[in-house]
Structure 1
Amino acid sequence: MPLKICILEADDLHPQLQPGFHSFGSMFVKLLGSQQQPAQFAVYNVVRGDYPSETEHFDAFLVTGSKADSFGMDAWIVRLREYLLIRYRAGDVLLGVCFGHQILALVLGGLTERAPQGWGAGVHRYRMLVSSLASHECPPSVNMLISHRDQVTRLPAGARLLASSDFCPNAAFMLEGQVLCFQGHPEFTPEFSRSLLQLRQGIYTPEFYAGSLNSLQQGHDGHRIGGWMLDFVASARRQRT
């Protein structure tokens, strides 16, 4: 039976990016839909107040990235934090990427804030701190596409740190076989990252912009990490049946 994944879309793509890349939700559907593990998806835009009904069942809830701050007080962010805490207390499996990683850490008792390291963009390498994840053997390091300036600076109690770098010490974590989060974007492609960098060029220094663009020539492990995410959900479902 396919996994049922609820994608909580926490942002709208900039209008200039929509023709080529559609939405954050569609990028996740493309990434996760290409994995060996069968899955079905439903996308809800929480910025617009769109949530699944209480009668709908999902094997996991995935929170996407966003340009917003996870610690912000906008009404939709406050509601999302409340909703995620309810889902966690109900025992639902939760996945988070970038903003999703940050907001889940915050909801579960960690700390997320504007990082003194500043912006990170392009391809970034993380040291893997575990030898296996979701029944997969982990390589010593992974490359991920990133775009963020907030970071998780304290993990929730009981969380296991999975990946780290000097720039981003808390780059991925797992909690109780129920929560799996990554700061990087497995759903991004180099083409999307290049378009995003070009759109935001004015906020970066020339040196940072050039370095971030050049980093896109490196490979990235988005497809691998998408597989880990689905297999994590599948493992959680098997343990509950």
Structure 2
Amino acid sequence: MLSLCILETDHLRPELVDEFHGYGYLFQRLFERQPIPVRCSVFNVVDGHYPADTQTFDAYLITGSKADAFGDAPWIEVLRSYLLQRYQAGDMLLGICFGHQILALVLGGECGRSDRGWGLGVHHYQLLEHKPWMTPTRDGFDLLVSHQDQVSVLPKGAQLLASSPFCPLAAYQVGKQVLCFQGHPEFVEPYAQALLDLRREVYGEDLYGQATASFRQGNDGALIAQWMLQFVTWS
């Protein structure tokens, strides 16, 4: 059984906690449905919680967050330092949304607020590379998204895996050690819809309507979760 450390980088809005609990919980539910068995340990790094030095994991997963990966909050600075230590120690790292962005920064890339605005709803990504751990194979995939920041420069040595017109650097790999996606495989449609409803005035009616309508096409969160676990076991 794989041992996965989930570094939770946010707290859900209070009105969403009873139903959705947290990002760590959403990932646990997602991985429970995968063919590769995995044991998840969740640590909320916003609260300063990290694994003990004696704990070992097959991989570390950094979740999404409403915070900016390039921010200067103390907990973000501590996390960046911790992730660099993990990378230098040879640990395997998986990044989703905020995690995708902060790992790019830690490894020498760049990210920031995108002039394309908010990405919401279900987005389609074209797969640019087909790897052995990407089974079942696809030419592209769809994921639920909620972000206005993007990676603008990949880390040195990173390989771009997937892209879209809205998010050109949507997924990347660094050797056999790092795999990151901008989209959210752990999101379920009720949670994504609840986020949209809470921020409807911020997004405006046009973008809100487009995002809500996009849910009808479904998404490939389960597929990406399977690929992530296969990446860990393949490497």
Q: Which runs of 4+ in 1 moved over 2 A?
A: none
- Matched residues, percent identical? 51
Superposition pairs of residues 20-35 of structure 1, within 5 angstroms: 20-35=19-34
Q: Provide the secondary structure at the position in 1 that maps to 2:160.
A: strand
Q: 1:143, CA displacement in angstroms?
A: 0.4
Secondary structure of 1:226's aligned partner: helix
How well do the aligned residues superpose, as a CA RMSD in angstroms? 0.9
Per the alignment, do residues 133 and 200 of structure 1 end up closer, same or farther by CA in structure 2, a change over 3 Å counting?
farther
Partner of 2:40: 41
The one-letter code matched in structure 1 to 2:177 is: Q
Taking the aligned partners of 1:109 and 1:133, their CA distance within structure 2 comes to 27
**Residue number in structure 2 paired with 1:209:** 208
Alignment partners' CA distance in 2, 1:138 and 1:161 = 17
How does the TM-score come out when normalised to structure 2?
Answer: 0.98
Q: Mapping of 1:102-121 within 5 angstroms?
A: 102-121=101-120
How many angstroms apart in 2 are the aligned matches of 1:211 and 1:68? Answer: 24
Where 1:88 maps in the other structure, the secondary structure is helix
Query: Shift of residue 141 of structure 1?
Result: 1.2
> What is the CA distance between 1:134 and its match in structure 2?
1.4
Give aligned pairs, total. Answer: 235
**TM-score scaled by length of structure 1:** 0.96
Residues of 2 paired with 1:16 and 1:219: CA distance? 25
> What residue is the counterpart of 1:198 in the other structure?
197
Is 2:178 aligned against 1:179? yes
Matched letter for residue 161 of structure 1: L
Deviation of 1:135 after TM superposition, in Å, equals 4.9
1:27-64 Cα offsets, whole Å, 9 max, x none, are: 00011121100110100000000000110000000000
Q: Give 3-state SS (helix, strand or coil) of 2:216's partner.
A: coil
Question: Aligned partners of 2:134, 2:193: CA distance in 1, in Å?
Answer: 33
Mark the runs of 5 or more structure 2 residues left unpaired by the alignment: none
1:1-241 aligned within 5 A? 2-236=1-235
**Counterparts in 2 of 1:180 and 1:155: CA distance versus 1, 3 Å:** same
